[in-house]
Chains A and B, each alone.
Chain A
């Protein structure tokens, strides 16, 4: 008889544990610590990995009570998330792709937010002999001429798009050399920098990720300052006419804040290690 009760008690305990677990997950499945109303922002690894969002978003959340959930992927992937309606706001850096995104009707209300710049990094001993050059395309041409290894994101990200533009400007198609001296990692900026550090190759990186990157090994900046290395970020609202669930009101509040005085000041005030990484450049920063 006791065995029966024991069994029932155990079955009950098991059931209760499972139920409690499910309940706990249900209650926390939505917002864990983030505020209740929230928007989803599809953005790039550079903004997230550099720590920018972690620095400025709490300011917005504190002011408005709106949580911002950042999904950090490459620019190409971020735009696709927006096109499928899986984000409310897209914040990326690839001007041509952004304009196409708007032209195709996936996004509306594109605004400038900020910029930083790209740098060409490479081994300290500089096997291609490009250190100090200010013409990025010429430097790329020299890398190709010497067949010195170069690590490319190869993931359709903003950085990848920029890099391909530079090869084009240098009059070189690197694709046929993929696997010989041109390595397409097909992964994020950090992973690509890890590859560059590990194999001692050159790579194009946004400055923010580079500065926040800890595993530099023998890498250093080789080329910077070219006007073509300018890296502007734009923010867009996912077209609510295409995706009715887009949280237009909250999303616009975020975009207004980001491109308004408070957001722009927050971007400028983000100075990890005393260095400013992003430079605000919104047009109507006075509204």
Chain B
């Protein structure tokens, strides 16, 4: 029990003192995960909507693949991205390994299937309702995808936030491709892993508490969005 109370004391101290080292790590975590979420969403939202709206050969296979990829363990993603970005790998010339960019790539790969799959689900519901009306208007596939994405934006925000949650909570992938380099690629989760390995469990848990607070904020945002959606009758 003392370890838990120590942890909360440590967390409280870290937050209240606006510990600059902590601030830097939190900022970098947000930066990496938010960029990954933005990049993944840019691809995943249209992809998910396209899977819901369009009928093309291989659509079923692609849907199964996307759904299966949702459960991909972060370490596997990390390993694959590492092998790609390694100097001995096909993308080695880019020199991205052990940079935040590599972490962004790994997290993007990790959450893209999640966002795409959730986007597909929400788009399917909307599309079954809109399909005939939009066809009657003479709306083409590109515009239909845009319409379904825009009108489904509240549900999609939930999908995007779910992606953010997964990205900001994972450690396996960013540890491998980022290397947990102090001041360069150290983020909340790798810092927690490091403090745990140093046996400084209170500090590790303290960082964990900060991560939980961020996670709660994100979920509160999801909840708030859900409420405003109900108000709009969407």
Contacts and interface: CB of A to CB of B under 8 A. Distances in A.
A72 B186 CA distance: 12
Most buried by B among A29, A49, A84, A191: A29
Interface residues of A, number: 39
B8 to A, nearest CB: 17
B184 interface: yes
Contacts of A54: 182
Contacts of B196: 190-191, 194
Contacts, number: 98
Contact of B38 (A18, A71, A85, A190): A18
B31 A193 contact: no
Interface string A182-219: 00000111110110010000000000000011111000
Contacts of B100: 25, 28-29, 32
Contact of A188 (B88, B92, B182, B197): B197
Interface string B130-155: 00000000000000000000000000
Given A32-B183, A69-B184, A214 B99 contact: no
A71 B98 CA distance: 8
A190 B197 contact: yes
B104 A25 contact: yes
Nearest to A31: B184
A214 B97 contact: no
A129 B125 CA distance: 69
Nearest to B34: A21
Interface residues of B, number: 35
Contacts of A214: 198-201
A44 to B, nearest CB: 12
Contacts of B93: 245
Contacts of B219: none
B179 A22 contact: no
Contacts of A216: 199
A193 B199 CA distance: 8
Interface in A57-114: 69-72, 84-86
Given A21-B38, A49-B198, A215-B199, A32 B88 contact: no
Contact of B197 (A31, A40, A49, A197): A49
Given A29-B101, A214-B198, A72 B180 contact: yes
28 contacts: A21-B31, A21-B34, A21-B35, A22-B38, A22-B39, A25-B31, A25-B100, A25-B101, A28-B100, A29-B99, A29-B100, A29-B101, A32-B28, A32-B100, A40-B98, A49-B198, A69-B98, A70-B181, A85-B88, A85-B92, A86-B88, A86-B97, A188-B197, A190-B198, A191-B197, A214-B200, A215-B201, A245-B87
Closest 3 CB pairs of A and B: A190-B197, A215-B199, A85-B87
